[in-house]
Amino acid sequence: MQIIDGKAVATALRGKIAEEVKTIAGEVGLAVILVGDDPASKVYVRNKIKACEETGIKSYLCNLPADSTFDEVAATIKRLNEDDSVTGMILQLPLPKHLNENELIDLIDPKKDVDGCTFVQKGRLWTGRDSLIACTPYGVIKLLEHYNIPLEGKNAVVVGRSNLVGKPLAQLLMDRNCTVTICHSRTRDLGEITSAADIVCVAIGKAKFLKADMVKEGATVIDVGMCRDEYGKLCGDVDFENVAPKCSYITPVPGGVGPMTVTMLIFNTLEAYKQQHKK
């Protein structure tokens, strides 16, 4: 059994990004829009700004009050769309409940959509065109590739069908010639399906949901969850202690997929700059 070290892979990739940013004559800039003061969102935003600092990318934080109207948030997005110093933009989720996140996300210029959330970038991904890919599933693929885990012809199960993780991850695995099954809260006999898979990816936000009897010997298990157990300790969607001995590869929580999410945001910001400045 080998533990997939997402922190080490992310650190190495950030080093490569920093070296490439040094060679660019212009300025690469990431704008983050934060509406309100949700504690978890503030931590995530802080991590994104720190990653920008590490790699030489300019960061712009637009912190709007929690009671901002749709038009006020939309005006901020419009301003950043028109700002040439902003290469990429992300609207930090979740938004306050009175705001429609899909309508606001789709106001972002697709060329600056470094979180891969606009319907344009999703459509490009699902129709096999070059796209800016949602950061968490893209990070999962980078981890699988880094460890040379075979994908072609493998049976992969994705537990979770969210637009942010489950759906794009399924597409990325299919693009690499996996046979993919998507499971969700209405799936019958879930354990039978996961226990037949070569690769199991879980992204549902339920602490220690995937048990040892739901995984076959030698499987690769990717845990995208971020939860708290009954003792308040950070954990994932996988019962790591009992599942790990059965696996060939497994990601821990923390230190697995998490570090890759922010790193792929930085990666996409650099990629967006290159696309915007093609000669």
Residue 271: φ, ψ to 5°: -65, -40
Length of the chain: 279
CB distance 54 to 12 below 8 Å: no
Residue 241 pLDDT > 80: yes
Q: Which domains does the chain have, with CATH numbers?
A: 26-110 (3.40.50.10860), 135-258 (3.40.50.720)
How confident is the model over 104-115, as pLDDT tens digits? 999 999 999 999
Q: Which of 5, 48, 113, 142 is catalytic?
A: 48
- The SS3 call for residue 257 is coil
Q: Which of 67, 68, 50 is nearest to 59 (CA)?
A: 50
Q: Is 7 a catalytic residue?
A: no
Strand ranges (DSSP E) for the chain? 2-3, 29-35, 58-64, 88-91, 155-159, 179-183, 199-202, 219-223, 227-228, 234-235, 247-250
From the list 92, 122, 198, 246, the catalytic residue is 92
From 5, 109, 113, 115, the catalytic residue: 115
Q: Please report the pLDDT score of residue 230 as a whole number.
A: 84
CB 157 within 8 A of CB 181: yes
Active site residue 84: no
Q: Using one digit for the tens of pLDDT, what is the confidence trace for 87-108? A: 999 999 999 999 999 999 999 9
**What pLDDT, in 10s, does the model give residues 119-134?**
999 999 999 999 999 9
Residue with tokens 């899909």: 102
In a 13 Å sphere around the CA of 228, the CA atoms on its Cβ side amount to 4
Mean pLDDT value across the chain? 96
pLDDT of 109 reads: 98
Q: Among 7-11, 22-26, 54-58, 244-248, which is the least confidently predicted range?
A: 22-26
Give Cα separations from 72 to 39, 64, 78 (angstroms).
Answer: 22, 9, 10
167 is catalytic: no
Instruction: Give the span between the Cα atoms of 203 and 157, in whole angstroms.
Output: 11
pLDDT exceeds 70 at position 279? no
